[in-house]
């Protein structure tokens, strides 16, 4: 028996692995897919990140409620809003059509640019998967969820097709050519370009036959010029292992691939009776504190299963199909070739494992091999890391962040903590960055290239005379950027930027990168009007009026900035998506600069444009249709207002397209929020976002209720501020109430919300917020919706969110913040929704179950909905639709009709 679960979400049923059950599930899934074949979605070109929530929100349309599983596997709703505490197992329901047609709108493809920026892939995406896709055996091992049939992570989303387009000289896209030769129904994953951009590689699965064995993954390649694809390696000769990293390119024609060892055999069987008790011991009196991680190893059998499914044999595969084994079987987590393709950087895990932390903290070995598999040198062998502090800026002891330098053929760099990884230890420097040639590893002393007094946060490389080093400290929210000369110890490091991470107005932007002859990416440098070499900074342009993205030329010697591009401020929001002038044989200058820019407005979805210098010519590349034209004329406004302590707050107010204030008056409103912690009240009040962005609507977004005539107050800021030595959460409840009061007062003042019909809701930490507001500010809201929340902080004793104190250090705060402790005070209707297989640290499904029991025990009007096979977010179409049905039912009954109740 295995418990079904996953990132994409499943839950709580024990599903037998017997063939009769599996046959039933696959037959049912096939039936569902056959019924929907005629409703395949059309697709358009990719969208910017904020629009990516649409990826998981597209599916076929049903006109009747669907019961996918037998009753014992149906969605379970426990409710006392009927007055009798009934258990409702009537199957999955569908929300109203106006919501369904938005969720079921066609999805857009993902985009992938070639290394030379002259070709682009359109990766077609499937609709919301049916819940039947998730009803497969699933193992929970060391913080992962594994599909034992595929020897892969479970719940992998996939692409259904690939189209290739060429960028023409004038910036337009050439005719598309589909990748051909794929098996029918191919499920495509792990798409990547060869370094020379002549081929793409990807994995392929095909749907299982009705009574046949699972279809294992195979690795394919396609010729970019012709689009013709062919299988490179796969079963029955070789089976692939995708638990960690399936493959990576070594050079233009060679790939290193993770495969299942030939001696794999059958998985270890669980003993019929236990051989011994499970024992954990701390007789050494170590201080070991960890967050509430999910899906950890539990016993020796779990350890054996982890070994079985993660052990791989590395092979080198050339494009002509030649296969050669390298190294011995081990648990390899990553393999990266050096820029000159002569060495491999190999990471692996080994025992002893832990029952307290996920696999990322297991003992880890990092080695350098020659590309033929010959061992060169061990970089480090890190021990089990169970006792990393829960405080921010904690890290592992020993060498970490080991990577190839992108500016050198085969040089490594890494960082080592000088404080033992504990931020409570005073140390200067706190971190030291080293570099060393792969060829001379162990024969020479590593070269020190940087020292940081805050926690090291990464590097961007330019050349021997230029690199940027980042450091930050969470407690003070301080971040610094240093400029160094890696190969010249006579040049003193200089601070370029020293600012607060919370102060978005002072953000100078991020340096853009360009490709090198080695196929790596380094800092893009080009000449300004004075002829000096400058960095290209891509900034969000945060300001009191909203984000106005920009591109600056930044002189690292003088600090002088020259703005060469800025977004439209009046109607549109524009943002740089990619540097397109990336030919390695040409010096980069303003005269040959090409940028891919996305452009959108409140009513127009993002489109891509190519902007070229010096003439500033703009060419439209894409023409996406509006995903939900019925909401094209929705009204959006970023509103500002103040809290009673003077803190500036803001929110995005949405009104239905046909709303007329004089005719319609105040509307029922749904307020959807998520609190954040700050150290400075001025920074907490800074403007984040833009009034000109398009409203991307995800599959469970609160904005869906615009189609139902609601006003939506989206993302009202709920800052929890702790200035100086004050801990923010010590005044959590007080500040939360003040923020909510200010938001409600503002929408009532504007006349857009009916004071008696304002509902509040949130997901995860927003669900926690919702329960607290219904308890402490019941006069503000008629009802609430809490999805996948945590309500009892005593069940997260070693910290949560940004809280670094344990419950024994801040017991009063933990208890006062916990809605569970005041369940008897909650008198307004509350809907609790949770995936039965939530794998998020801190929001285990039991949180909602226990909170519901507490509410019911005190006579509160409440309802608990547990979604089978779903995790922290909800992905199965039946689950998503039922979630929306529950939310709509609740809002209609206890918000729209609040006065009648």
Question: Per DSSP, what are the bridge partners of residue 459?
Answer: 469
Burial category of 291 from C-beta neighbours within 10 Å (exposed 0-12, middle 13-18, buried 19 and up): middle
Burial category of 82 from C-beta neighbours within 10 Å (exposed 0-12, middle 13-18, buried 19 and up): exposed
The residues, any chain, with a CB within 8 Å of residue 560's CB and separated by 6 or more, are: 528, 554
Residue with tokens 């179950």: 849
* Token digits of residue 800: 């949560």
* Token digits of residue 203: 């994995």
Residue with tokens 């050096």: 338
C-alpha torsion sign, points 885, 887, 888, 893: positive
Closest CA to 111 of 170, 45, 18: 45
* Residue 795 near residue 820 (C-beta atoms within 8 A): no
DSSP 414-433: EEEESSTT-TTS--SSSEEE
* Token digits of residue 843: 């929001």
* Catalytic (active site) residue 251: no
Q: Three-class SS of residue 817?
A: helix
Catalytic one of 336, 754, 838, 888:
838
Q: Report phi then psi at 73, rounded to 5.
A: -110, 15
* Catalytic (active site) residue 36: no
* Catalytic (active site) residue 472: no
Q: Three-class SS of residue 27?
A: helix
Residue with tokens 């507001």: 773
Count of Cβ atoms closer than 10 Å to residue 792 Cβ:
20
Checking phi first, is residue 730 left (phi over 0); if not, alpha (psi -120 to 50) or beta? alpha
DSSP 518-563: TS-EEE-EEE-TTS-EEEEEEE----TT----EEEEE-TTT--EEE
Largest CA distance in the chain: 82
* Residue 330 near residue 312 (C-beta atoms within 8 A): yes
Question: Per DSSP, what are the bridge partners of residue 47?
Answer: none
The residues, any chain, with a CB within 8 Å of residue 349's CB and separated by 6 or more, are: 310, 331, 333, 359, 362, 363, 364, 365
Catalytic one of 203, 872, 879, 888:
872
The residues, any chain, with a CB within 8 Å of residue 660's CB and separated by 6 or more, are: none
Length in residues, the chain: 901
Euclidean distance between CA atoms 488 and 483, whole angstroms: 12
Q: Where are the alpha helices (DSSP H) in 595-700?
A: 661-664, 681-684
Catalytic one of 567, 764, 848, 879:
764
* Residue 299 near residue 275 (C-beta atoms within 8 A): no
Per-residue b or e along 610-632, where b marks 16 or more CB atoms closer than 10 Å to that residue's CB? bbbbeeeeeeebbebeebbeebe
E strand residue ranges, 306-454:
312-318, 323-337, 343-349, 364-370, 375-382, 399-404, 411-417, 431-437, 447-452
Catalytic amino acids? 764, 838, 872
């Amino acid at each position: 028996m295995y418990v079904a679960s996953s990132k994409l979400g499943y839950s709580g049923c024990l599903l037998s692995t017997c063939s009769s059950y599996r046959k039933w599930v696959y037959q049912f899934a096939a039936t569902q897919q056959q019924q929907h074949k005629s409703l395949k979605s059309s697709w358009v070109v990719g969208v910017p990140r904020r629009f990516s929530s649409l990826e998981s929100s597209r599916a076929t349309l049903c006109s009747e409620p669907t019961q996918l599983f037998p009753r014992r596997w149906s969605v379970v709703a426990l409710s006392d809003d009927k007055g009798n505490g009934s258990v409702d197992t009537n199957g999955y329901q569908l929300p109203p059509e106006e919501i369904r047609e938005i969720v079921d709108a066609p999805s857009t493809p993902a985009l992938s640019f070639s290394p030379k920026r002259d070709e682009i892939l359109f990766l077609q995406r499937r609709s919301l998967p049916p819940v039947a896709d998730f009803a497969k055996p699933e193992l929970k091992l060391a913080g992962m969820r594994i599909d034992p049939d595929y020897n892969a992570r479970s719940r992998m989303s996939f692409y259904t097709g690939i189209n290739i387009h060429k960028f023409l000289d004038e910036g337009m896209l050439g005719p598309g050519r589909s990748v051909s030769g794929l098996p029918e129904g191919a499920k495509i994953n792990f798409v990547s370009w060869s370094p020379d951009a002549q081929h793409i590689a990807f994995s392929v699965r095909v749907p299982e036959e009705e009574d046949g064995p699972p279809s294992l993954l195979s690795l394919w390649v396609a010729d970019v010029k012709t689009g013709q694809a062919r299988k490179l390696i796969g079963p029955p000769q070789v089976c692939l292992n995708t638990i960690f990293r399936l493959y990576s390119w070594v050079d233009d024609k060679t790939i290193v691939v993770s495969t299942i060892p030939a001696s794999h055999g059958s998985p270890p069987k669980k003993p019929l009776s236990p051989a011994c008790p499970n024992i954990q011991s701390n007789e050494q009196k170590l201080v070991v504190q960890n967050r509430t991680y999910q899906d950890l190893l539990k016993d020796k059998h779990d350890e054996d299963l982890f070994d079985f499914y993660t052990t791989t044999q590395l092979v080198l595969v050339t494009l002509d199909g030649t296969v050669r084994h390298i190294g011995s079987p081990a648990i390899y987590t990553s393999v990266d070739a050096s820029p000159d393709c002569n060495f491999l950087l190999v990471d692996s895990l080994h025992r002893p494992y832990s029952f307290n932390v996920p696999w990322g903290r297991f003992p880890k070995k990092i080695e350098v091999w020659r590309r033929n598999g010959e061992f060169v040198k061990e970089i480090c062998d890190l021990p089990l890391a169970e006792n990393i502090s829960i405080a921010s800026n904690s890290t592992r002891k020993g060498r970490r962040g080991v990577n190839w330098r992108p500016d050198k053929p085969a040089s490594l760099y890494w960082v080592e903590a000088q404080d033992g990884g504990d931020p409570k230890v005073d140390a200067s420097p706190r971190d030291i960055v080293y570099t060393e040639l792969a060829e001379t590893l162990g024969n020479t002393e590593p070269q020190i290239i940087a020292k940081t007094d805050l926690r090291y946060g990464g590097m961007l490389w330019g050349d021997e005379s230029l690199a940027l080093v980042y450091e930050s400290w969470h407690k003070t929210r301080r971040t610094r950027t240093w400029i160094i000369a890696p190969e010249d110890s006579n040049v003193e490091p200089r601070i370029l930027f020293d600012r607060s991470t919370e102060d978005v107005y002072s953000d100078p932007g991020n340096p853009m990168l360009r490709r090198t002859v080695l196929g790596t990416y380094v800092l893009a440098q080009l000449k300004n009007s004075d002829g000096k070499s400058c960095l290209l900074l891509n900034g969000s342009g945060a300001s009191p009026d909203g984000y106005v993205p920009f591109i600056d030329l930044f002189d690292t010697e003088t600090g002088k900035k020259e703005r060469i591009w800025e977004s439209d401020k009046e109607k549109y929001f524009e943002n740089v998506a990619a540097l397109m002038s990336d030919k390695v044989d040409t010096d980069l200058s303003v005269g040959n600069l090409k940028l891919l820019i996305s452009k959108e407005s409140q009513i127009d979805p993002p489109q891509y444009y190519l902007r070229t210098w010096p003439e500033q010519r703009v060419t439209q590349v894409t023409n996406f249709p509006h995903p939900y034209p019925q909401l094209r004329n929705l009204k959006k406004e970023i509103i500002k207002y103040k809290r009673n302590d003077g803190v500036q707050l803001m929110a995005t107010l949405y009104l239905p397209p046909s709303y007329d204030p004089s005719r319609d008056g105040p509307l029922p409103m749904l307020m959807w929020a998520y609190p954040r912690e700050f150290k400075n009240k001025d920074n907490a009040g800074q403007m984040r976002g833009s009034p000109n962005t398009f409203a991307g609507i995800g599959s469970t977004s609160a904005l869906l209720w615009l189609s139902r005539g609601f006003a939506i107050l989206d993302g009202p800021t709920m800052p929890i501020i702790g200035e100086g030595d004050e801990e923010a959460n010590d005044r959590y409840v007080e500040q939360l109430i003040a923020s909510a009061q200010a938001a409600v007062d503002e929408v009532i003042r504007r006349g857009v919300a009916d004071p008696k019909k304002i509902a509040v809701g949130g997901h995860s930490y927003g669900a926690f917020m919702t329960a607290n507001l219904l308890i402490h500010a019941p006069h503000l809201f008629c009802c609430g919706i809490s999805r996948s929340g945590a309500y009892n902080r005593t069940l997260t004793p070693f910290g949560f969110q940004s809280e670094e104190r344990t419950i024994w250090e801040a017991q009063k705060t933990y208890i006062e913040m916990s809605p569970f402790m005041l369940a008897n005070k909650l008198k307004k209707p509350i809907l609790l929704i949770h995936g039965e297989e939530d794998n998020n640290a801190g929001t285990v499904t039991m949180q909602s179950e226990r909170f519901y029991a507490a509410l019911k025990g005190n006579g509160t009007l409440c309802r608990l909905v547990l979604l089978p096979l779903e995790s922290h977010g909800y992905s199965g179409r039946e689950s998503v639709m039922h979630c929306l049905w529950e939310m709509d039912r609740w809002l209609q009954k206890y918000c729209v009709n609040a006065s009648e109740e």
